[in-house]
Amino acid sequence: MHIRESDVENAVNRYRCMLSAVESSHTQSLRLAFTKQLAEVLLRGLTGILYFPPNPASKSTKKSQTNVTESPWKPKQYTGINLFVPTIDYEEIILLLLISEAMAVRDTVLSQAPEFEEARIKALENAKTIYDLLAVAVVRWGQVSVLNEMFERAMKFSFEEKHVWMQHAFCLVAMGRYFHALAVLKEVKRLMPKSTMPCLIGARMCYEYLESPKEGVEWSTEALERAKTHEPHLVSRCYLYQGIGYHLQAEPMYVRHEKEALHSKALNALTKAVENDPYDHLTEYYLALHLACAQKIKEATVHARKALSLQQEHAPSLQLVILLLTAQKQHGEAAELLELALEEYPDDLNLIYLKAHLQLYCEGGEAALVTAKKLLSIWKSKYEEQTAVDTTDMSDKRSDTRSAFHFYTSEMSDKDSSSLHAQSIAASRVEHALSEVASSLSSFTPRPGPQRAWLLQVQIWLLLAEIYMEMEEMHWAASCIQEATAIYPLSHQVMFMKGLLHENKGEYHDARQWFQNAVAINPTHVKSLQHLGLIQHYLGCQKLAEKTLRDAARIDPNSYITWYNLGKVLESLGEHEGATDCLLTALDVENRSPILPFTMIPLTFE
């Protein structure tokens, strides 16, 4: 009655009064209903500043004798000095739901016998309602581990119950336990044979977290088969996920016929996605990205602008258009669009990183240095609090999954090593490379907090080092590299940057050693191969330089630096015709090369 009259305060007080009454065996079902209803009322309209805690003062005025009440018809109340009284909305809501869950689990029926079916269904419905409320409550305050404990207890009485299994999978994803979540999703997929959603979620996890695009394509293909039969409105999204999987498989592939086959499959799937839903900005964006990676710049620009027109605030589309403008050497327009994008997203680290490189190319080191320092200050404001304290493994994973920024780029992440085919590198080379950093490892311990945040800082230090080297400030560049080494000494990118520093100093033997170390750890790191080949050329090892640069060209034929260096080597070998072809190829590739690889844009599903 109080709620119907919009008198929420008196309604809540009435609920609290009833729940503080001494429990009896006849009131257990009522208590379960009341705790659940009070939690719903608090969640719906009494959180934050609207919340008022229970007032135990009225109870303290009662007489100390427990057998004295105002009326024999009023129930006895729980009293005592050790009673827990919630003081904030979070405490009371979670307490109510935990009590509800304990009572609901106690009432569950484990027997699958037909005579207990009605009782089993009723108890399960009560438990499911409580789990849904718990999901709303704990996710709001970031306490997903509490919910996970509930679902683990619920598994024993949730046989063939698809809703509970699906919620459990979502909970595991939120906690960062992706392999476990994928296993649960396989069970959900079996329980929901007509639903496309579990398959799409599984595919997204494979792409975004598990770095398993091949398995993601399998999930997407099954989703497509289901969508065609039962959910035709999701056919476009299924084709999109399938295309993303083929695209991710194609990028690290350097066996030519396999790469071309995957590119063809990706293009076919993404084209069908656009045809089935021409007003989805995500399908247009991924088709544009795929065309851009295939060096079809003009076609990619058309689709990227279409994606931007469909969703003007889509940050990845903005980044793609900016990179396409730089590929067409329209750096002024790219800079203008970049400034407009930064007005909308002033703290976007991807955009600021791109701005630093664009300034380094167009304006020089001074302007780029200011931007890179701003990048470091933004990192501190976003991540320093997380990394300053020693967090548990669980909070580490949760922080990683909730990170607002993913630093994905072929220069800035280890994505380029996610599909290593060159496993024939001798173990002795790896051991030799690791021995170079043994002194660092002797005192190396992982930094506290989310490791992704530390990897971001490594990339920022390496960017600063690159800028200082362009400004010929080798001392400051060495200091930045040292900061990166202290965080992650085994990074092939850190080793590459050390080699680049020695190369700029003219110390070619030391430079060659560091480039070899980088290649030993990541055989497909193109920049290390490019500079290793160049150093071998400087040291007079022309045949070895040619072999190294041809390997780099085989891995990434769209890098003009590789072709230019190979042309220089062939010229020194007296192969003038081959050198001319390489230099002409370098000019052609350079005319359509962006300021940064298109793969710098983070994977997005929104």
pLDDT digits (tens, 9 = 90+) for 432-452: 445 455 545 555 566 666 677
Is residue 519 within 8 Å of 549, Cβ to Cβ?
Answer: no
| Per-residue pLDDT reduced to its tens digit, 283-336 | 999 999 999 999 999 999 999 999 999 999 999 999 999 999 999 999 999 999
Is residue 2 within 8 Å of 37, Cβ to Cβ?
Answer: no
pLDDT for position 85 = 73
Rounded to an integer, what distance in angstroms lies between the CA atom of residue 451 and that of residue 407? 12
Half-sphere exposure of 435 (CA within 13 A, CB side): 8
Phi/psi zone of residue 176: left (φ > 0), alpha (ψ -120 to 50 degrees), beta?
A: left
Is residue 563 within 8 Å of 586, Cβ to Cβ?
Answer: yes
| Per-residue pLDDT reduced to its tens digit, 167-226 | 889 999 988 899 999 999 999 999 999 999 999 999 999 999 998 999 999 999 999 999
Residue type at position 461: W
Give me the torsion for CA of 301, 303, 307, 308, rounded to 10°: 20
Would you say residue 89 has pLDDT above 60?
Answer: yes
Rounded to an integer, what distance in angstroms lies between the CA atom of residue 508 and that of residue 500? 10
Q: Looking at 159-168, 524-533, 590-599, which range is the least confident one?
A: 159-168
Rounded to an integer, what distance in angstroms lies between the CA atom of residue 464 and that of residue 486? 15
Residue labelled with tokens 């490594």? 458
Q: Looking at 320-324, 421-425, 452-456, which range is the least confident one?
A: 421-425
| Per-residue pLDDT reduced to its tens digit, 322-332 | 999 999 999 99
Is residue 152 within 8 Å of 101, Cβ to Cβ?
Answer: no
Half-sphere exposure of 497 (CA within 13 A, CB side): 31
Would you say residue 102 has pLDDT above 90?
Answer: no
Residue labelled with tokens 């975004």? 208
b/e per residue, 345-367, with b = 16+ CB within 10 A? eeebbbbbbbbbbbbbeeeebeb
407 phi and psi angles, rounded to 5 deg: -85, 70
Rounded to an integer, what distance in angstroms lies between the CA atom of residue 276 and that of residue 358? 37
- Indicate the pLDDT class of residue 146, thresholds 50, 70 and 90: confident
What domains can you pick out in the chain, each with its CATH number? Answer: 8-90 (no CATH), 382-398+447-489 (no CATH), 490-590 (1.25.40.10)
Helix then strand count (H, E) for the chain reads: 29, 0
Half-sphere exposure of 458 (CA within 13 A, CB side): 25
Would you say residue 385 has pLDDT above 70?
Answer: yes
Q: How many C-beta atoms lie closer than 10 Å to residue 399's C-beta?
A: 20
Q: Which of 379, 377, 332, 378 is nearest to 358 (CA)?
A: 332
| Per-residue pLDDT reduced to its tens digit, 403-415 | 333 343 334 443 3
pLDDT for position 277 = 94
